[in-house]
Amino acid sequence: MTTGDAVGQRIVPHFWFDTQAVEAAEFYVTVFPDSRIDSVRTIRDTPSGDCELVAFRLAGFELAAISAGPLFSINPSISFMVNFDPSRDENARANLDALWDSLAEGGTTRMALGSYPFSERYGWVRDRFGVEWQLILTNPSGDERPFIIASMMFTGGNLGNAERAMNFYLSVFEDSQAGQLVPWGDAGPPGTATMVMFSDFALAGQWFTAMDSPADHGFSFNEAVSLMVKCDNQEQLDDYWAKLTDGGQEVECGWLKDRFGVSWQVVPREIDDMMANGTPEQCDRVNREVLTMVKFDIARLQQAYDG
């Protein structure tokens, strides 16, 4: 199976679990190809107590997770599209079916695995940990896309915002481009003709999809799935923070919500090295400093690390 290369990934999806972060990561790396756990560490004395953090890669795609209590529940507002391309993988259909069987075990089927007008093989499943996956056999003649893509659903009070959100995110991130934009047209309920049935776009070279869903789902974006932006320096961190909070809301510890309610974490890349290579005392000092911050100050974190 051929998969995308996510080296240097700028935006890392992040899951908030109750207690299952490590268990979930260990499961995913056994069912996705070319996958591994990069690190597991514990941060102590947070408002949620001691929390386990895990960084892992699925087919080269970087993800992160935390066990921090039952404060938030994952829902379909951000799911993950897994593209099986027969032009790159001669066993695409068989590999799709095998992954479906693994993810569906103990999970809940949203859309049954089968043939649809947009794909001869597609299914949507909520796995045993609550994470939402869309598995699709792609059209070999279509535009090539990465193996795993985060997918946003705009519904409820956000209905009609998919295209606006896409354009906003394109203005925030460098190395960005719009891809497909397919409106509902006559296929949707009354009033949705100009809304987005499917769109995709690249932010910092990384692909996302977005759609408007007119159904009454009863959910929206929350902190259970956030998007972590890794920054190279304070200037870049300040820039992303200012743009993403414009019309949104500052939260704490590097977290914010944008104008559409999507949760982001804007973090310095240095913090990964600090937590991976620091002594327990250094890590504890950095953690204590993090808990005092809203937007991250890299110099203060470095000072805490150095003691």
Output the pLDDT for position 143. 80
Q: Give the mean model confidence (pLDDT) for residues 144-152.
A: 95
- What does the pLDDT read at residue 47? 84
The four Cα atoms 298, 10, 208, 217 give a dihedral, to 10 degrees, of: -30
Q: What is the pTM of this model?
A: 0.94
Binning pLDDT at 50, 70 and 90, where does residue 4 land? very low
Say what percent of the chain tops pLDDT 70. 98
In the chain, which ranges are continuous DSSP H helix?
21-31, 92-104, 162-172, 234-245, 270-277, 280-290, 298-306
pLDDT, mean of residues 198-225: 95
Residue 211: pLDDT above 50?
yes
Detail the DSSP E strand segments found in the chain.
11-17, 36-46, 49-58, 61-67, 78-84, 108-116, 119-126, 132-137, 148-154, 177-183, 196-203, 206-212, 225-231, 249-250, 255-257, 263-268
Q: How far is CA 261 from CA 121, 145, 155, in A?
A: 32, 26, 12
- pLDDT for 187 equals 82
Q: Average pLDDT, whole number, for the chain?
A: 94
Of 124, 121, 120, the residue nearest 112 (C-alpha): 124
Closest CA to 237 of 172, 286, 175: 172
User: What would the two tokens of residue 118 be?
Assistant: 């947009």
Quick check: 180 pLDDT over 80? yes
- Predicted confidence at residue 7, as pLDDT, reads 41
Of the pLDDT bands very low, low, confident and very high (cuts 50, 70, 90), residue 3 is very low
The answer to whether the beta carbons of residues 53 and 202 sit under 8 Å apart is no
Find residue 204's DSSP bridge partners: none
Mean pLDDT computed over 73-77:
97
Neighbours of 265 (CB within 10 A): 20
Q: Please report where in the chains the tokens 């299914």 appear, as a residue.
A: 123
The answer on pLDDT for 2 being more than 70 is no
What pLDDT is recorded for position 188? 84
Reported as a single tens digit per residue, the pLDDT across 247-298 is 999 999 999 999 999 999 999 999 988 988 889 899 899 999 999 999 999 9
Instruction: Give all domains of the chain, ordered by start, each with its CATH number.
Output: 11-71+223-306 (3.10.180.10), 78-212 (3.30.720.110)
Question: What is the pLDDT confidence band of residue 173, given thresholds at 50, 70 and 90?
Answer: very high
Average pLDDT over residues 223-234: 98
Residue 110: pLDDT band by 50, 70, 90 thresholds? Answer: very high
